[in-house]
A and B are shown apart, each in its own frame.
Chain A
């Protein structure tokens, strides 16, 4: 368990660092981070399913510059790991009932910690404005290293705490006899779809002549759903 948590904390640190500090390569997106965490715990598909639900929801929150948004990287690691742990112990739907809400809560908490980090970085920079005005390369380098290190520690801690809570809870809940388990996934899928649909409208409605493309895509999507479902 300790080794598992340590590995998840490291993955969470990397994914959390990716959000802003380095390298911004979208490793922090739920679809990626959840799947990687799921694979580490032994069920990549459970991680992918959790990632898909959170990715639908995350489509609403885009990382615009100074705006405040949830931090999906470290949260998705804890969520994907919880889903995989629960799925291996018992049933994926019940594990999702732990993974998704805790993933969302951790993402919100992660967003708050990112704001605090930016404030801390600002204090650090403000204390060194004289050195920056003198053109000190050491100060410039120091600020970059301090910011990235603090971000790594922030994200790792979040993933560690989140996984330490979510994994045992998901393992316990997944083995319970629950007659209502069958409604869990449709509810989560509907929620994700609603948020994603609203997000797509918000993102694209102001761009001229996008509506026909959206309607055409929806028609293709619905036909495919009809053809693929039994």
Chain B
């Protein structure tokens, strides 16, 4: 690990201290491992072993190297219970890697680790699962409704979603590494503070466009049939809203669809 005299770009939200430089090969190893951070997700340590798996390449730079005393102590710390959104966990990975390489006191690292779980989970859920994913999905469904073919719909969805997804993981890693234990300030970054609300508004608009369009394409060219299907969907959605929390729509859909299949099988068997 070397120390750069000046950070390569200004980071106003982070105290102006020299940021250590992580070797490119180590950074790449961590970045690739981030995509498998949940490979062993479980009810015992949740994402804990995934965090250790991602931080491990950086820990090899500790005094004593891979397998040394400092390396093993740090890896043991990082394998403990941890939970966060899988994409924003990259912020934790970057910050924890730097804290370990700076050989911060273990108790401080453990407190920091515990404090990160909640915010990275809730912000990530709102930004990605309620924001990005449905927005990309509504957009693809709107394109489907407008008559776009299989390749166009799939590519539009995957390119939009994964451009943001990969950028978020890499941004988080860089942000976490640059800020280290001061990364809490990064949680006030406009992307994380305003992003969920803006994505929710875009998602709301796109859902309004996409649902009737998708229904109309599924039903076909008939204006009357489309109108009936859209009205049925609106009524059904209203009932689901009224039943909010008491029943899940996909389970009702499963029962109705299975009943329709059973009806056809009995008729033709």
User: Which of A55, A97, A197, A226 is close to B236, meaning CB atoms less than 8 Å apart?
Assistant: A197
Bound complex: CA A62 to CA B134 (Å): 9
Interface residues of A (CB under 8 A from B): 20-27, 29, 31-32, 35-36, 38-39, 44-45, 47-49, 52-53, 55-66, 70, 94, 97-98, 100-102, 104-105, 107-108, 118-126, 129, 132-137, 140-141, 143-148, 151, 173, 176, 178, 184-204, 207-211, 213-222, 224-226, 228-230
Contacts of A60 on B, CB cut-off 8 Å?
248-250
Decide: B72 and A45 in contact? CB cutoff 8 A.
no
Min CB gap A195→B, angstroms: 4
| Majority-rule SS of A interface residues | helix
Decide: B38 and A140 in contact? CB cutoff 8 A.
no
Contacts of B129 on A, CB cut-off 8 Å?
62-64
Bound complex: CA A145 to CA B220 (Å): 47
Decide: A122 and B42 in contact? CB cutoff 8 A.
yes
Decide: A140 and B222 in contact? CB cutoff 8 A.
no
**Could you give 15 example pairs across A and B, Cβ below 8 Å?**
A26-B162, A31-B154, A48-B144, A52-B214, A108-B251, A125-B40, A191-B236, A193-B229, A193-B233, A213-B204, A216-B208, A217-B209, A221-B145, A225-B216, A226-B223
Contacts of B67 on A, CB cut-off 8 Å?
137
Contacts of B145 on A, CB cut-off 8 Å?
221, 224-225
Decide: B125 and A64 in contact? CB cutoff 8 A.
yes
Residue on B with the closest CB to A38?
A: B150
Bound complex: CA A196 to CA B209 (Å): 12
Contacts of A53 on B, CB cut-off 8 Å?
218
Decide: A209 and B201 in contact? CB cutoff 8 A.
yes
Decide: A52 and B250 in contact? CB cutoff 8 A.
no
Beta-carbon contacts of B160-173 to A below 8 Å, as 1s and 0s? 01100100000000
B12 within 8 A of A: no
Decide: B38 and A21 in contact? CB cutoff 8 A.
yes
Decide: A104 and B253 in contact? CB cutoff 8 A.
yes
Decide: B83 and A214 in contact? CB cutoff 8 A.
no
Decide: B125 and A31 in contact? CB cutoff 8 A.
no
Contacts of B250 on A, CB cut-off 8 Å?
57-58, 60-61, 70, 104, 107, 195
Decide: B212 and A222 in contact? CB cutoff 8 A.
yes
Decide: A57 and B249 in contact? CB cutoff 8 A.
yes
- Given A20-B41, A48-B153, A194-B233, verify A221-B211 contact (CB < 8 Å): yes
B256 within 8 A of A: yes
Q: Which residues of chain B from 191 to 222 have any CB-CB distance to chain A below 8 Å in the complex?
A: 196-197, 200-222
Contacts of B210 on A, CB cut-off 8 Å?
196, 217, 221
Contacts of B72 on A, CB cut-off 8 Å?
134-136
- Given A57-B249, A140-B52, A197-B233, verify A135-B74 contact (CB < 8 Å): yes
